[in-house]
Amino acid sequence: MLPAGLALPKSLIGPVLITTLLIGAHLSFGILDGYQKLLLAVITSIVMENLLHKYTKGSFKGISSAYVSGISAGILIRSAYFWPFALTAMISIASKYVLRYKGRHLWNPTNFGVAMMLLIAADSTAVLSIQWGNHMWAMVIIWLVGIFTLMKVGRFNITGTYLAAFVFFAWIRTYFTGDTFLTEVAPLTGPMYQLFALFMMTDPKTTVKNPWAQSAVVVVIAFVEMLLRLGEVVYAPFYALFIVGPIALVIEDWWQSRSQPVSGAEAVPHT
Amino acid sequence: MKPSTLKYGSVALMFVALFFVPELIRQFTDQTDRAQASAEESLERYGFFMEEVSQELGVTFVHQRCDVDDPLKHIQPQIAAMGASVSVADVNNDGYQDFYVTNSAFGEPNHLYIQQSDGTFEEQASIYGVADLNQYPKGSSMGSIWADVNNDGWEDLFVYRYGKPVLFVNQKGQKFEPFEGATQFPDWVNSNSAVWLDYNADGYVDLFLTGYFKEDVDIWDLDDTRMMPDSYEFATNGGKNYLFRNDGGRGFTDVTQEMGLDNRKWTLAVTSVDINGSGFPDLILANDYGVDELFLNEKGKRFVDMGPASSMGDIPKSGMSITAADFYNQGDFALYVTNISEAGVLMQGNNLWVPTGSTTIDGIEVPTYANTATSAGVEQGEWAYSGAVTDLNNNGTLDLYIANGFYSATPNTDYWYDYTKVVGANSQVIINASNWPAMKERTFSGYQQNRLMLNDGSGRFREVSSAVGAALDKDSRAVAFLDIRNDGTMDMVVANQHAPVSVFKNQVNQDHAWIQISLEGTQANRSAIGASVTVEWTDAQGQAQRQKQSVSGGEAFSSQSSRVLHFGLGVMDSDTVENVTIHWPGGKRDIYEAVPHNQKHTLQESTSARFDN
């Protein structure tokens, strides 16, 4: 346990964790094609965020959120070109300012950006699909560090439920595909899933508030992912979150407005 | 309209505009000429035209993939994915280039095509005694390379297999007999490539042989299904590579360990050139499931792994082919490595390693490289195998032909989803063939078209395969160039997996001059493998040009082109090139001045050849 004076503010836990994982993974396994593309995604993300925030709300914004979006895009996107990294970051950030419902954005920005890039630029873009080397320890350490951090910030129920649901649906899938259980559950051992389950799914801005509802939503995400996987969709988890996440938020909003009449002040949308 | 609404509208507009960026980039950067042109249009526009003429020339070979043991049946197309190869040599010293293609199914013969004076070919593998090489338990052919191993003036044949490799000695152009000297060749190696090189400059070609699957893996009698790579990017459980020293043409001794070449990466391709001008040939390896490797030759005493120091060995990909070529007419070799790309799934991209200078590591001068494939327009491949190089339009710059396509099965099906389930997973999953999903006759990066990348001379390449008649969408593996009919144009043979071989005849704009150099070593090995030739000439615009080529003992993927070096020269005002400079293995140099072009010159290593320093 860190001394109180050294404890990280909650807002910095995400950026510090993802940066630590990135540096460790790259120095150990060279997961990045190069630092330039990562930097481009991060810088584009931060610049875009602040330009749009200044333009729409009149002030600049801190870099923490944009940094995580940018670094996530930089890790997840794979391309020989530079422009997909910048474009993913731009689409991700801009989606927060355009695709809004009752004052909040509906999609996890990176999830939206990555899903869109796979649709509009599949000929020049792919998503990270490699391993953390060939050692079990790297995978185990990252899961442990990630889970510990999520427990500290009270969001482990999301990832934990998702993992359980994924494993269950993997077992179900074996009856349809004829492949072994190990084969169906294998994607969980790759870094793409770790980034997805540790960071993307747990984004506080785009998850429902109630812990039980959070768990229910990720079960639905895992179920939709299973359906997509049975349809042989390579990036099923991204599309599943892309589809289910916003619907869950809209339902939550509708449920809250039905059970708790909003006051005049709360009804004013954020701009 | 409220200001906030206006602001939201403008941001939304910008947001929508972002979705059109990829299409705009496609429109502005597309370097593909898709429209098929007539022969006349193609000659006018590109300076050459190619035509598939296999049947007309009498080439009827069809490659058959091998079968596998029951535990591997569900992924047979992946296990038996290779074996279609081609290598070129003048077998009977009649001045016409012949070629040898390998088969892989047991009982199916390899073919040796002997070129006739009219440019047609006669299949004579049985007559020469090199047809029936695919038999269990001897093995299944994967490729071949030619060199004169005993310096008797006749080209000998080495065939590598999944099984026991075999060396045949040419009996004065009449037939081949198995090499009778003592060899330490392994009893079993699962090899997909080999290269001749005279690493110690003793005047006899030595042999580097690669391993893919580990040497205790017999894919027809499998002991353990844990024989797949233990990692998709950092695999360490591949077959052993070997270096065999040629003991004066009398035998081959395994010197792998003492020369520092112990390696268990999954090597798929190898080539050898003197990359740093030391006079000793170096080794460059393309590894599947790993990084590219550069082994510098320390004056024949040892090899030193300088891949990371040269910047080549940092990013792991699926290396499939390696070729050294002076693409920019700078007198230096760039290195082209093919990898795997599949739209939306895996974007490795091919590598074009261009020399940027050098650095000194432990007293060794190491050339450094930068990957410029993207800016050159040769990065985007597909599931690529051979990336082979020659000057197809004789314009004075080297062009690139890329073989694409892994497994063409049921149309409109795809195995990629299942593939991604295991290859991104932990080593304990990926290593076991039992965990790999069944392919069930699904296509896996199949029906992909090969690419012909035309060098525009300014560092950019344009894809013109359809426009010049060279379109081909079989599962191509090996590519070799040779001059059929000795008419000063480079023709092409493409070996396709589980499909007929494709021979392309090339017609070139007759205004473009050329020169061919055939070398014969006297102190160096007689095949002159490892010798480099630099031709210097002045083009019609008065610009000084120079291009360097090396006599290759094997290159690309399971390929070996003609060792008669062919230089296109473009439009020339003069009847001669200024200089032809030959660097022989070992470091000696011969220079010829005012050499006439539009003809082939056979140059023997002179007794007066001098060391540079």
Tell me how close the Cα of A104 comes to any Cα of chain B, in angstroms.
14
* DSSP state string for B133-178: --BTTTEEEEEEEEE-TT-SSS-EEEEEEEE--EEEEE-TTS-EEE
Distances (CA, A) of B255 to B188, B291, B575: 17, 24, 48
- The rounded distance, in Å, linking the Cα atoms of B517 and B252 is 30
Positive or negative torsion for Cα B251, B256, B261, B262: positive
What integer pLDDT is reported at residue B122 of this predicted model?
A: 98
Containing B127, the helix (H) or strand (E) segment is helix B125-128
Decide if B401 contacts B343 (C-beta within 8 A).
Answer: no
Whether residue B390 has pLDDT greater than 50: yes
Which of A202, A132, A133 has the alpha carbon at shortest distance from A163?
A202
**The two structure tokens encoding residue B223:** 């002991």
At B175, is the pLDDT very low, low, confident or very high (cuts 50, 70, 90)?
very high
In chain B, the residue whose alpha carbon lies closest to the alpha carbon of A132 is B426
- The rounded distance, in Å, linking the Cα atoms of B43 and B123 is 32
Which of B73, B82, B127, B116 has the alpha carbon at shortest distance from B102?
B82
* DSSP state string for A198-246: IIITT-GGGS-SSHHHHHHHHHHHHHHHHHHHHTT-TTHHHHHHHHHHH
Rounded to 10 degrees, what is the CA torsion of B212, B213, B218, B223?
A: 170
- The rounded distance, in Å, linking the Cα atoms of B167 and B130 is 10
What integer pLDDT is reported at residue A268 of this predicted model?
A: 33
At B234, is the pLDDT very low, low, confident or very high (cuts 50, 70, 90)?
confident
> Does residue A77 belong to the interface with chain B, where contact is any CB pair within 8 Å?
no
What integer pLDDT is reported at residue A85 of this predicted model?
A: 95
pTM score of the predicted model: 0.92
> Does residue B178 belong to the interface with chain A, where contact is any CB pair within 8 Å?
no
Containing A121, the helix (H) or strand (E) segment is none
Whether residue B413 has pLDDT greater than 90: yes
Helix (H, G, I), strand (E, B) or coil at B276: coil
What integer pLDDT is reported at residue A123 of this predicted model?
A: 86
Q: Report the half-sphere exposure of B308 (CA within 13 A, side-chain side).
A: 4
pLDDT tens-place string over residues A10-30: 677 777 877 877 777 777 666
Containing B253, the helix (H) or strand (E) segment is strand B251-254
Weakest-pLDDT range from A67-71, B73-77, B115-119, B559-563: A67-71
**The two structure tokens encoding residue B141:** 């052919």
* Chain B residues within 8 A of A139 when measuring between CB atoms: 426
At A33, is the pLDDT very low, low, confident or very high (cuts 50, 70, 90)?
low
Q: Quick check: B8 and A125 CB within 8 A?
A: no
In chain B, the residue whose alpha carbon lies closest to the alpha carbon of A231 is B417
Which of A182, A194, A196 has the alpha carbon at shortest distance from A29?
A194
Strand order of the sheet with strand B610-611?
B544-550, B532-538, B576-583, B588-596, B610-611
- The rounded distance, in Å, linking the Cα atoms of A61 and B529 is 64
pLDDT tens-place string over residues B61-120: 999 999 999 999 999 999 999 999 999 999 999 999 999 999 999 999 999 999 999 999
What integer pLDDT is reported at residue A267 of this predicted model?
A: 36
Weakest-pLDDT range from A253-262, B128-137, B240-249: A253-262
- The rounded distance, in Å, linking the Cα atoms of B338 and A45 is 33
What integer pLDDT is reported at residue A219 of this predicted model?
A: 97
Please give the DSSP secondary-structure letter assigned to residue A196: I
Task: Provide the mean pLDDT of chain B.
Answer: 94
What integer pLDDT is reported at residue A189 of this predicted model?
A: 83
Whether residue B559 has pLDDT greater than 90: yes
Whether residue B485 has pLDDT greater than 90: yes
Cross-strand bridge partners of residue B335: B324, B353
- The rounded distance, in Å, linking the Cα atoms of A229 and A240 is 10
| Vertex B537: Cα angle to B536 and B543 (nearest 5) | 115
At B4, is the pLDDT very low, low, confident or very high (cuts 50, 70, 90)?
confident
* Chain B residues within 8 A of A232 when measuring between CB atoms: 414, 417-418
pLDDT tens-place string over residues A73-86: 988 888 888 999 99
Top-confidence residue, B474 or A17: B474
Contacts of B132 (CB under 8 A, 6+ apart): B109, B126
pLDDT tens-place string over residues B276-325: 989 999 999 999 999 999 999 999 999 999 998 998 877 888 999 999 99
Top-confidence residue, A175 or A8: A175
Please state whether beta strands B166-170 and B156-163 pair in parallel, antiparallel, or not at all (unpaired). Answer: antiparallel
Which of B202, B206, B270, B209 has the alpha carbon at shortest distance from B521?
B202
Whether residue B416 has pLDDT greater than 70: yes
Top-confidence residue, A57 or B155: B155
Distances (CA, A) of B121 to A103, B59, B60, B516: 76, 7, 10, 22
Tell me how close the Cα of A2 comes to any Cα of chain B, in angstroms.
32
Burial class of B325 by CB neighbour count within 10 A (0 to 12, 13 to 18, 19+): buried
- The rounded distance, in Å, linking the Cα atoms of B369 and B378 is 16
Please state whether beta strands B351-361 and B334-338 pair in parallel, antiparallel, or not at all (unpaired). Answer: antiparallel
- Mean pLDDT, residues A208-237: 95
What integer pLDDT is reported at residue A270 of this predicted model?
A: 31
pLDDT tens-place string over residues A85-133: 999 999 999 999 999 888 888 999 999 999 999 999 988 888 876 656 6
* Chain B residues within 8 A of A96 when measuring between CB atoms: none
What integer pLDDT is reported at residue A3 of this predicted model?
A: 47
Whether residue A264 has pLDDT greater than 70: no
What integer pLDDT is reported at residue A13 of this predicted model?
A: 73
Q: Report the half-sphere exposure of A31 (CA within 13 A, side-chain side).
A: 27
Helix (H, G, I), strand (E, B) or coil at B103: coil
Q: Report the half-sphere exposure of A190 (CA within 13 A, side-chain side).
A: 28
Decide if B575 contacts B492 (C-beta within 8 A).
Answer: no
Selected residues 199-228 of chain A with any CB under 8 Å from a CB in chain B = none
* Chain A residues within 8 A of B430 when measuring between CB atoms: 131, 186
Helix (H, G, I), strand (E, B) or coil at B109: coil
- Is the bond preceding B137 in cis, omega lying within 30 degrees of 0? yes
| ipTM field | 0.86
Residue identified by tokens 């077959």 is: B239
What integer pLDDT is reported at residue B522 of this predicted model?
A: 95
- Mean pLDDT, residues B134-149: 97
| Vertex B98: Cα angle to B92 and B100 (nearest 5) | 110
- Mean pLDDT, residues B420-443: 91
- The rounded distance, in Å, linking the Cα atoms of B121 and A257 is 83
Helix (H, G, I), strand (E, B) or coil at B334: strand
What integer pLDDT is reported at residue A7 of this predicted model?
A: 61
Rounded to a whole number of angstroms, the CA Rg of chain B reads 24
- Indicate the residue of A177, A182, A233 with minimum beta-carbon distance to B435: A182
N residues, chain B: 613
pLDDT tens-place string over residues B584-600: 998 899 999 999 999 99
Weakest-pLDDT range from A146-150, A220-224, B184-188: A146-150
Tell me how close the Cα of B408 comes to any Cα of chain A, in angstroms.
18
* Chain B residues within 8 A of A233 when measuring between CB atoms: 417
Whether residue B200 has pLDDT greater than 80: yes
In chain A, the residue whose alpha carbon lies closest to the alpha carbon of B433 is A183
Contacts of B441 (CB under 8 A, 6+ apart): B409, B410, B413
What integer pLDDT is reported at residue B611 of this predicted model?
A: 62
What integer pLDDT is reported at residue B612 of this predicted model?
A: 56
* Chain B residues within 8 A of A234 when measuring between CB atoms: 344-345, 416-417, 420
Containing B125, the helix (H) or strand (E) segment is helix B125-128
